[in-house]
Structure 1
Amino acid sequence: MCVMLAGVATSQTVPSQGSNDQLNLGDINAEQTLNVVTAEDVSAPTTAGGNTFGMTVYGADGGLTSNQDNRGGVLAHGVVNVSDSMGVATVTSTAVGNSGTATAAAGTLTGFMVQTNTGAVTARSQIEGETAQAGDVVESSLAAGNSQGLTLNNGSMGARVSQNNQADVAADGGAIIQYVAGTAVVAGTAAGNNIDLNGANQSAARVITDQNNGAANVTATQFTAYGNSNTTVTAATASGNNLNAANTGPLLDVASHQYNTAYVRAQAQETSYEFGSAQATAYGVGNSVMAGNYGPGLVLDNVQVNDGGGVEVIASFEGNNGYDAGASATAIGNAVTGYVCNQCSGTMNATNSQSNNVDVSARSTITMGGGGRSIVGVATATGNNASFSVTNSGH
């Protein structure tokens, strides 16, 4: 999950030391409604952020200290009402309490970043077209209490990222459309804390991350209803803490510490009376880490504790007649994946500690009133899951 807000200030020339201190106390609301009869192209991006900040070093060395504190509620809500038809529709709602980016391109960046969110964060996207037809539809709702991006391009980075979220995070939405002629993808992603590291072109990174999610709820709920549809996907993803680190270069060194006490819920529900291909997918996890290096070295020290409210995941599809239908629900307390590409006698040094102390449940339901060609339902619930692999290049 990469949740970066538009309008983040970056520069190609920066001082050797950057310092950022941001405090937001007010509520931040971004709302829009589009009332459409007939249109070829409909675009409705809605973005809200408590604090946003970005720093880039290019061909130079730099240091960064950033402290972001959001205490106000953050809401992004986009609605499209269509009565007749629309060719292509893109509806996105993005809400983040604190959003930061740090980039090292052909240089070295050393950073210390702290993000604290205590304001409720909600992203909601809706398409209301009970009597309308659509060609291709892409609708997304993205919500995060804290989100930090780390980017390297032939660069090196040493970073300490500390995230603390204490407020509810929700990514809600859905669509009602009479007829979908093309492809409709409706998705929602919610995270209490999120970190994305992307390194390319022989980069190297050493990072220490501390993520604490003490919110009551982190939820992603998506509901769709179609009369007749060609290809549709309804997806919901919810995570208390999420870290995704992928690098191409000599070294990726990650020390990750995650603690979640929130109730995590992901629900994807779809109905289509007649359908070609329909899929409802829901994924929920208390703590999640993925660290991979397409290069010779990976060091991973992972500690995860999932406590408090538990994880509940629901995926359901209901239709009358069609071809291929599926519903997949995956619920995990703690998940970690580490991989390294063994190009130059590469090695992995991984240490893992996981503790899940709460209930984890996954439920998948498919209901058919008539006939179908392929009907597939999957439900998977796991307390702790760890996977580590060393492979040759290209595998």
Structure 2
Amino acid sequence: MAKHALIRLAGTIAATTLCVAAAATEAAAQDGTIVLNEQLQLGDILSGQTLNVVDAQDQVTVSTSAQGNAFSGAVENDSITVSSDQDMRGDSTARSDVTLGGDTDGVVNVITQAGGNYLAASAYDAGLTVEATQSNTGGLVSATSEVGDSDARLLAGGSVNASAVSNTTALYGEGSAIDGSIDQSSSATVRSFSRIQSQYVPAETAVTSESTINAVAVTSGQTSGQALTINQTSTSDFVEADASANAGNAWDLASRARASANRAVLSNQGGSVVTTSSQENSSFVRAAALTTAYDYGRAEARATGAGNELSVGNNDIYVEIDNTQINSGGVDVSATFSGTNGYDVYVGADAVGNSVTGYACSECEGYLEARNSQTNSGDVSAQATTVVAGSNRAVITGANAVGNSASFYVSRPTH
């Protein structure tokens, strides 16, 4: 069922703040640099590494990436208008296979990334206008990290990560005004898989997996401002993230998986934020985290899945949000731990069809205005499973499934 709301949370505001910032941005755009970018990728992008390491005495660091289209730019003490059209039609796959035999004395760091379209732009004491279109009609975006062996001893622990994103737009500003529009669409399947297998890990070790179809991240500070229109559409079959952390004896072992169809995160300080956002998803979303250990000190399995996500925050006085979210894809999230003897276990599974969060600064008498419409017709499931065959000290678990979630507030971060 659709939900419509108009919400105002207000203190006092100087109404000219937004108007002056918008006028200054428009004037700067007229006088500044113009960049026209068109990128078309028709073929497949493949990247892979295979390592077999025995008794490494220092660190083991592996980085593997595959990217279809990429654009980056920056402006300082001026203004720039970026008009970008990126079209990805091939597959993008990256894979890291690392076999670790015997004792590995140094920290193990493995990161594997796969992407379709990527755009990044930064502004410093400047004006940044972005008109970006990203489309991915390829078949697959996939990242895989496989690490360890049944007798591997990772004495310094480490991190293993796999990340797959179909479309990414990242904007950053300091003392700058950021405005424009971002339009993302994707029909590509997106998946990430990350796993570690070991005999003994006496140090902190984390295995993470993250998959996103459409992603927007905008960060600005030091008297900056934002005025953006964001449209995200996901029509792929599915997006999934799997993380698996396994050890015979582990001191601090964690698996974390996150899968999202459409995700936009905007944060700002020192100016106004005006956001119009439309997110529509029909893709099936799946996130699964698995942690196993016979003996353990601290063990964690956490998984998060969402159809549509929007977060807009401003550490200043003005926030305006006009949000529409439609999710018809199912969301399935599971987090599992299995062990025998140990101390503390944390297991969490969180699933949501549509989610929006908006907040403004309370200490500066913030004002927040939100118009929100959310419709979810997909099944949403969250499951947390914990098995302790022997004895332990504490078990803390949680499973949360929500169809539509909306949170708007003006409060201190600690409240």
TM-score range, shorter chain: over 0.9
- Asked if the contact 2:206/2:245 (under 8 Å) is kept, the reply is no
| Map of 1:208 onto structure 2 | 229
Q: How does 1:169-184 map to 2 (within 5 A)?
A: 169-184=190-205
Q: Tell me the TM-score normalised to structure 1 length.
A: 0.95
Residue 175 (structure 2) pairs with residue 154 (structure 1): yes
Alignment equivalent of 1:70, drawn from 53, 63, 88: 88
Structure number with higher relative contact order (C-alpha < 8 Å, ≥ 6 residues apart): 2
**Aligned residues of 2:245 and 2:254 also touching (Cα < 8 A):** no
Q: 2:245–2:253: 8 Å Cα contact kept in structure 1? A: no
The answer to whether the aligner puts 1:255 opposite 2:276 as a matched pair is yes
Give the equivalent residue in structure 2 for 1:386: 406
1:182-221 correspondence to structure 2 within 5 Å: 182-221=203-242
Structure ID, larger Rg: 2
Counterpart residue number, 1:320: 340
2:34 matched residue in structure 1: 17
Identical aligned pairs, as a percentage?
35
Give how far 1:231 is off: 0.4
SS of 1:131 mapped into structure 2: coil
Please state how far the C-alpha of 1:254 moved relative to its aligned partner: 1.1
CA RMSD, 1 decimal: 1.3
Q: Give the superposition deviation at 1:252.
A: 1.1
Decide whether the 8 Å contact of 1:152 with 1:203 is kept in 2: yes
Query: Structure 2 vs 1, CA of residues 329 and 393 (structure 1 numbering), >3 Å: closer, same or farther?
Result: closer
Alignment of structure 1 residues 1-395 onto 2, 5 Å: 16-39=33-56, 40-86=58-104, 87-119=106-138, 120-134=140-154, 135-307=156-328, 309-392=329-412
CA distance in structure 1 between the partners assigned to 2:368 and 2:136 by the alignment: 34
* Partner Cα distance (1:387, 1:394) in 2: 16
Number of residue pairs aligned between Structure 1 and Structure 2: 381
Question: How has the CA–CA distance of structure 1 residues 375 and 250 changed in structure 2, closer, same or farther, with 3 Å as cutoff?
Answer: same
Superposition deviation, residue 394 in structure 1: 6.8
Structure-2 separation of matches of 1:136 and 1:106: 42
Q: Is the 8 A contact 1:198 1:245 kept in 2?
A: yes
- Whether the 8 Å CA contact 1:248–1:295 is kept in 2: the answer is yes
Specify every segment of 5 or more residues in structure 2 that has no aligned partner in the other structure, as ranges: 1-31
Letter in 1 for 2:377: N
The whole-number CA distance in structure 2 between the counterparts of 1:394 and 1:354 is 28
Does structure 1 conserve the Cα–Cα contact (< 8 Å) formed by 2:301 and 2:336? yes
CA-to-partner distance for each residue in 1:266-320, whole Å, 9 max, x for gaps? Answer: 000111000000000000000001110011111111110001x300001000000
In structure 1, the residue matched to 2:17 is none
Residues 245, 292 of structure 1: 8 Å contact kept: yes
Distance 1:386 1:393 in 2: 18
**Residues 147 and 194 in structure 1, CA contact (< 8 A), matched pair in contact too:** yes
Q: Which position in structure 2 is the counterpart of 1:8?
A: none
CA offsets, 1:134-154, max 9 Å, x none?
A: 112111111111000011111
CA distance change for structure 1 residues 206 and 79 in 2, over 3 Å: closer, same or farther?
same
- One-letter identity of the residue aligned with 1:281: R
Identify if the C-alpha distance between structure 1 residues 273 and 176 changes in structure 2 by more than 3 Å, giving closer, same or farther: same
- Partners of 1:370 and 1:252 lie apart in 2 by 53
Once the two structures are overlaid, the 10-residue window that deviates more, 94-103 or 384-393, is 384-393
- Kindly indicate which of the two structures has a greater share of residues assigned to strand: 1
Q: Deviation at 1:345?
A: 2.5
Contact 1:70 1:97 in 2 (8 A): yes
Name the CA distance, whole Å, in 2 between partners of 1:132 and 1:191: 31
Report the residue type matching 2:368 in the other structure.
Answer: M
Query: Which segment is superposed worse, 369-378 or 275-284?
Result: 369-378
Partners of 1:37 and 1:82 within 8 A in 2: yes
Report the TM-score, using the length of structure 2 for normalisation: 0.90
Q: Which amino acid aligns with 1:129?
A: D
Given that residues 343 and 393 in structure 1 are in contact (C-alpha distance below 8 angstroms), is that contact kept between their aligned partners in structure 2?
no
Q: Report the Cα offset of residue 225 of structure 1.
A: 1.4
2-structure distance, mates of 1:25, 1:50: 9
